Amino acid sequence: MKKCILVTGGAGFIGSNLCECLAQNKNNEVYSLDNYFTGSKENHVAHVTYIEGSTSDIEDLVNFSPDMVYHLGEYSRVEQSFDDIEKVWQFNKDGIFAVLQFVRKHGCKILYAGSSTKFGDGGLGRSASPYAWTKATNTELVMNYGAWFNIPYAITYFYNVYGNREIQTGKYATLIALFKEKMKNNEPLTIVSPGTQKRNFTHIDDIINGLILVGENGYGDEFGIGSPEAFSIKEIAQMYEGEIQMLPERKGNRMTADVMTAKTEALGWKPTRTIKKYIEELRNNNWQ
């Protein structure tokens, strides 16, 4: 039986990997809705239909009724969100309302990609930046729509994703890819002070496996998808064995996050990749 799946943000780092995996199942009809703010047409994969536009316009852009919506298409950078607050509001607040109204109308399940910043520093991280606050309050709205309108939902939380199709350059680059590019170009690895902030780096393959598992079988909140191993940013830089350059502290930079994977593991998920091995592989391949 055919299943119609819509992935918002399907041309982005995580979304493109999700689309690729979903499209490998011939019973899935996969669509992407992306505004290409950080997504790229270079991330397009076979057997996916691409729709260009904002999630806030989903009702006008999507003329079919999906069985499932993976809502990944939101603004997702902490430090930059202070400067981009208008984009944060448009992509995250206007977007979530339109998407929830859409799934309410069509009666489909929504998987919402929340942010682990909500759990940072014992819960204080949820209001530490415009990005963190919008994501935390969006999870509450998703839960309320579930209660108010009987919408089936699942909420996942990612922890510092790395791997294939990461953004490598510019202000929206992700750390692991950025460090790789700096090593390739013989540049120092820049770390925001104090450098002791800890992160749980999780490979994209493990994220996608968790997303599909939760999408198919999970209901409710707190489906964390993250590696149990935590490393400080300085420890990660030391794994690259490059020169380290410290930068001044920045607003919104959480020190810790609680990784909650029990509900995801109960569905049969477990991480299979480690950041140490990944960096070793990069080094052996001369940072290619």
| Tens-digit pLDDT profile for residues 110-139 | 999 999 888 877 777 899 999 999 999 999
Position 2 scores a pLDDT of 93
Instruction: Write the CATH number for 94.
Output: 3.40.50.720
**Over the chain, what is the mean pLDDT?**
95
Position 99 scores a pLDDT of 98
The CA-based angle 271-266-231, given to 5 degrees, is 35
Q: Identity (one letter) of the amino acid at 130?
A: P
pLDDT tens string 180-216: 999 999 999 999 999 999 999 999 999 999 999 999 9
CB 197 within 8 A of CB 232: yes
Position 272 scores a pLDDT of 97
| Confidence (pTM) | 0.95
Position 189 scores a pLDDT of 97
Alpha helices in the chain (DSSP H): 13-23, 58-61, 85-88, 95-106, 130-149, 175-184, 204-217, 233-240, 262-266, 275-284
Cα 223 from chain centre:
13
Token representation of residue 16: 């493109």
pLDDT tens string 33-79: 999 999 999 999 999 999 999 999 999 999 999 999 999 999 999 99
Collapsed DSSP state (helix, strand, coil) of residue 257: strand
- Provide the domain limits for residue 31: 3-284
Q: How many domains does the chain have?
A: 1
Looking at the chain, the whole-number percentage of residues with pLDDT higher than 90 is 89
Q: Identity (one letter) of the amino acid at 206?
A: D
The residue assigned the tokens 């607050």 is: 85
Kindly report whether the peptide bond that precedes residue 188 is cis, defined as omega within 30 degrees of 0.
no
